[in-house]
């Protein structure tokens, strides 16, 4: 089945949640790194910046840890920009785990595709055949020296700093953020003014 286009970027707890959603939906998915978001200034800054740019969907596990992360993010993100989605409480364990979590509930990664599609149904793009604006691509980053070159990491850090983004973003995370925050022409213009 083809990926369904979701209107807004999604914030989830962990990398396996991100992998699960990215296999079903065509939208940027950002991970908090679990509880690491409490101490990671860069992640918090990125999530705030994304929410300031437009609505974001927040989807956490239905256990105590998920509620803690949701509550924390609700306190640091603009409340009028956060769309809260919830998964049902289903007893079980994820296939990759040896034993169930403390609460004995499946997390986002353990939900069936049908459940996740129904959770996201109100936010699916009505017109999936509508031509999208030209995105910023990996080729753009390469041509600007932001990836694949000896000093790419330093250039990415300088660009991120100038844009108010975390300076330690890998190229793929930077690309996702740039496509949410800027139209391609605007980004290329800014990059040019920075001498990239």
Report pLDDT for 87.
93
CATH code reported for the domain at 4-123:
3.40.1360.10
Exposed / middle / buried, residue 157 (Cβ in 10 Å: 0-12, 13-18, 19+): middle
Reported confidence tier of residue 134, pLDDT bands at 50, 70, 90: confident
**Euclidean distance between CA atoms 25 and 78, whole angstroms:** 24
Average pLDDT over residues 164-178: 81
Specify the domain boundaries for CATH 3.40.1360.10 within the chain.
Answer: 4-123
Average pLDDT over residues 93-122: 89
């Amino acid at each position: 089945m083809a990926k369904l286009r979701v209107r807004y970027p999604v914030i989830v707890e962990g990398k396996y949640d991100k992998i699960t959603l990215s296999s079903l939906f065509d939208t940027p998915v950002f991970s908090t790194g679990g509880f690491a978001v409490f101490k990671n200034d860069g992640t918090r800054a990125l999530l705030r910046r994304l929410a300031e740019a437009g609505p974001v969907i927040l989807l956490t596990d239905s256990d105590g840890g998920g509620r803690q992360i949701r509550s924390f993010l609700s306190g640091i993100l603009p409340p009028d920009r956060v769309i809260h989605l919830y998964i049902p409480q289903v007893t079980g364990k994820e296939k990759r785990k040896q034993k169930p979590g403390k609460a004995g509930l499946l997390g986002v990664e353990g939900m069936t595709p049908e459940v996740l599609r129904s959770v996201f149904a109100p936010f699916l793009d009505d017109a999936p055949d509508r031509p999208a604006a030209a995105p910023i691509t990996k080729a753009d980053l390469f041509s600007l020296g932001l990836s694949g070159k000896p000093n790419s990491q330093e250039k990415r850090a300088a660009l991120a700093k100038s844009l108010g983004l975390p300076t330690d973003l890998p190229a793929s995370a930077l690309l996702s953020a740039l496509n949410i925050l800027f139209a391609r022409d605007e980004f290329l213009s800014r990059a040019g003014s920075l001498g990239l």
